[in-house]
């Protein structure tokens, strides 16, 4: 199968990946909690799992802010994906 595009939402910019979930409901619950904090969280399918991401970030400053917010929210292993 072809690789999924790096930009899952069709928007330009980079994303911060917070985690990969086996259970969609768990990913959705985490995304809703982050969205309630004003963060641009979304869940995207990735094979047989679901990725929890923030973004898109349109520049390095916004990217750094999203990464900092992810870590502050308890996602210490969050990282930037293009």
User: How far is Cα 7 from Cα 73, in angstroms, rounded to an integer?
Assistant: 23
pLDDT, one tens digit per residue, over 27-60 is: 999 999 999 999 999 999 999 999 999 999 999 9
Taking Cα atoms as reference points, which of 2, 64, 3 lies closest to residue 54?
64
pLDDT tens for 63-75 read 999 999 999 999 9
């Amino acid at each position: 199968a072809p690789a999924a595009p790096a930009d899952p939402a069709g928007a330009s910019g980079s994303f911060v990946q917070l985690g990969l979930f086996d259970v969609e409901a768990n990913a959705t619950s985490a995304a809703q909690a982050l969205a309630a904090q004003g963060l641009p969280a979304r869940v995207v399918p990735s094979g047989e799992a679901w990725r929890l991401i923030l973004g898109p970030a349109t520049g390095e400053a916004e990217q750094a802010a999203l990464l900092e917010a992810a870590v502050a929210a308890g996602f210490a292993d969050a990282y930037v994906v293009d």
